[in-house]
Amino acid sequence: MNWILHDKREQTVTQPELLKTALHTDLANNIEIIQSSFDNSCDLTIHEICLNGMKGAVISIDNMINKDILAQAILKPLYAYPFSGTPEGCLRDMQTKVIYTDDVSTIGTFEELYSRILSGFAVVALDGCDQMLSIGIQGFRTRSISEPESDVIQRGSKEGFVEPLRTNMSMLRRKLKTPYLQFEVLTAGRLSETEVCLCYLRNTVSEDILDRLRCKVKSIELDTVLAAGYLVPYLEEPEELSLFKSVGVTERPDTLCGKMTEGRIGILIDGIPSALIVPYLFVENFQTIDDYSNRPVFAFFTRLLKFLAFFISMLLPGIYTALGTYDPEMFPTLTLNKIAASIGDTPMSLTAETLIILLVYEIMRESGLRMPQPLGYAVSIVGGLVIGDTAVNAGLIGAPTLMVVAISAICSYMIPNLYAPTALLRIVFTLTGGILGIWGIAAVFCIVSINLCSKMSYGIPYTSPVTPFGTTFFRDVVFRRGWKILSRSHEPVQDMPGAHTEVINE
């Protein structure tokens, strides 16, 4: 698919002033400042060395580096090399002649020093030199690449994003073997200094959107970034009130690669096994990689089911409550008799009964998610069979109401990206239907539709190409055309070094 593409709060944590101070020539003074800044933390390692009569030190954080590489590629060649001359000359010799790794650079401030050692670098310091040598020998343990648990597909790659940023970048590079793929690494979080990587294809991305996104990331005012959700409010349009997010999330590298070929920008965050996508449109919540692996007819069928499930999960309990309370004559005769009998046998009103079942379901769902997996299965069995069956037999709730809520809940799992807004709107529509009837539901539905249609994602209508209507609606929204037609989306880009084309809405 092709598309066109705050209030400042008081800083509660004050950064140490030494982080902005240049390194000293006195090694003992530098070590004293470092130990004082870390308050002699037990994982701070300072290995003092002597190189041909010259004092030095190797500074690192325990369990953040590979100790074998430290011994073989740093300490062993340092002790074997005949150093002579000034400390500055010795440091240059280390960088160009002695150290056996390729990620070697000089640093000159405490800020750089702390950032490097906390990222798994080892730092070599010499007495009499106001610069140090940082060496990348990261050795902390990471999770291996595996299939995403919440974004499973039948056909296609089984790889999912993992926590290390560089590993995620390499997975994207393996899937898009083109020099157009660009990575920009920024930092967010005053304390965590988390690396945030912007990923895009420079021949398709919109420069305006890219500039706006850079400014948003650089203006983030957070102490720590521990989840992708921390950044979403800063990336969305300011002062926008909506239950629907205009920033997409994916755990799959192949999904992100497909979005980047359409002109989108991916955002990878170090330590988080998922990626954010901007701009992101509403119809993309109903699309999966499997749609493009199956034949177009079956893809159309599954997407139609997803759109139908979205409206059922959001509106069914409210419509049922409104009709049962104010317009029961709209039910078929046999159905009306059963619903009337169940309402007469229960002590609560239909609205209260539906709301209670919805809340109990959400409680059981949250309990099943937070408990250990074996206990989660037990909660599901107890909630679905024991509580539900016993409550119906005891006459506390009606079987038709329980079935309506169950169908609505099952339908909501067909669109997992929209579960949160659907769950809230389901309760809102149920309350509205019980108080105002079917006309109240129609009014609230119009308000939600207007809010959805007025939402923008980096200057692009969130509901495009449905509203405003575009010809791409017939290519890859509900219908999906074959690959022979979709492959004509992009024309070959000529003169690659200076090429730039914006993806525009047809």
Summarised one tens digit per residue, pLDDT across range 432-445 is: 999 999 999 999 99
Residue 169 lies in a domain: yes
301 and 273, same structural domain? no
120 and 252, same structural domain? no
242 and 121, same structural domain? no
Question: Does the structure show a pLDDT above 50 at 497?
Answer: no
Nearest Cα neighbor of 262 from 198, 205, 197, 181 is: 205
List all residues 6 or more positions away from 121 whose beta carbon is below 8 Å from its beta carbon.
Answer: 60, 65, 103, 134, 135, 136, 137, 138
Torsion 176-177-181-184 (CA) sign: positive
Q: How many CB atoms lie within 10 A of CB 224?
A: 14
322 and 428, same structural domain? yes
Nearest Cα neighbor of 130 from 19, 18, 23 is: 23
Residue 478 lies in a domain: no
246 and 307, same structural domain? no
Q: Choose the most confident range, by mean pLDDT, from 338-347, 392-401, 442-451, 484-493.
A: 442-451
Tokens of 467: 């509203």
312 and 444, same structural domain? yes
309 and 258, same structural domain? no
185 and 43, same structural domain? no
Summarised one tens digit per residue, pLDDT across range 145-163 is: 887 877 777 777 788 899 8
Domain's final residue, options 234, 253, 280: 280
pLDDT at 313: 94
% the chain with pLDDT above 70: 88
Which one is predicted more confidently, 151 or 9? 151
Which one is predicted more confidently, 20 or 285? 285
Residue 223 lies in a domain: yes
212 and 341, same structural domain? no
* pTM tops 0.85: no
396 and 339, same structural domain? yes
pLDDT at 381: 62
Question: Does the structure show a pLDDT above 90 at 19?
Answer: no
pLDDT at 494: 35
Residue 392 lies in a domain: yes
261 and 384, same structural domain? no
Across the range 415-437, mean pLDDT stands at 93
Across the range 458-483, mean pLDDT stands at 78
pLDDT at 315: 95
- The answer to whether 358 touches 430, Cβ cutoff 8 Å, is yes
Q: How many CB atoms lie within 10 A of CB 490?
A: 15
Place of tokens 């992100």: 256
CA distances from 178 to 27, 41, 181, 471, 493 (A): 46, 45, 6, 30, 12
Summarised one tens digit per residue, pLDDT across range 21-38 is: 889 999 999 999 999 988
Task: Please tell me the distance from the alpha carbon of residue 45 to that of residue 18, in angstroms, as a whole number.
Answer: 19
Q: Residue 198: which pLDDT band, with cuts at 50, 70 and 90?
A: very high
pLDDT at 267: 95
pLDDT at 269: 93
Question: What domain range includes position 75?
Answer: 17-136
Tokens of 223: 């102490």
Across the range 217-236, mean pLDDT stands at 88
227 secondary structure, DSSP code: S
% the chain with pLDDT above 90: 30
pLDDT at 378: 63
Across the range 64-82, mean pLDDT stands at 88
| Partners of residue 250 on adjacent β-strands | 275
Task: Quote the number of domains for the chain.
Answer: 3
Q: Are strands 121-126 and 132-136 parallel, antiparallel or unpaired?
A: antiparallel
What is the DSSP track for 266-297? EEEETT-S-EEEES--GGGGG--HHHHHS-HH
Q: Helices 296-326 and 419-454 sit at what angle, rounded to 10 degrees?
A: 90
Residue 70 lies in a domain: yes
Question: Does the structure show a pLDDT above 90 at 9?
Answer: no
Task: Please tell me the distance from the alpha carbon of residue 221 to that of residue 104, in angstroms, as a whole number.
Answer: 31
Q: 9-14: list long-range contacts, CB under 8 Å, 24+ apart.
A: 9/221, 11/190, 11/221, 12/223, 13/190, 13/191, 13/223
Across the range 9-19, mean pLDDT stands at 39
Rounded to a whole number of angstroms, the CA Rg of the chain reads 29
83 and 36, same structural domain? yes
One-letter identity of residue 306? K
Summarised one tens digit per residue, pLDDT across range 347-373 is: 888 899 999 989 988 888 887 777 776
pLDDT at 373: 67
Summarised one tens digit per residue, pLDDT across range 172-190 is: 999 998 899 999 999 888 8
Question: Does the structure show a pLDDT above 90 at 395?
Answer: no
Domain's final residue, options 437, 456, 475: 456
- The answer to whether 487 touches 497, Cβ cutoff 8 Å, is no
pLDDT at 489: 55
Residue 2 lies in a domain: no
Domain's final residue, options 456, 474, 497: 456
pLDDT at 4: 40
| Partners of residue 184 on adjacent β-strands | 198
pLDDT at 239: 66
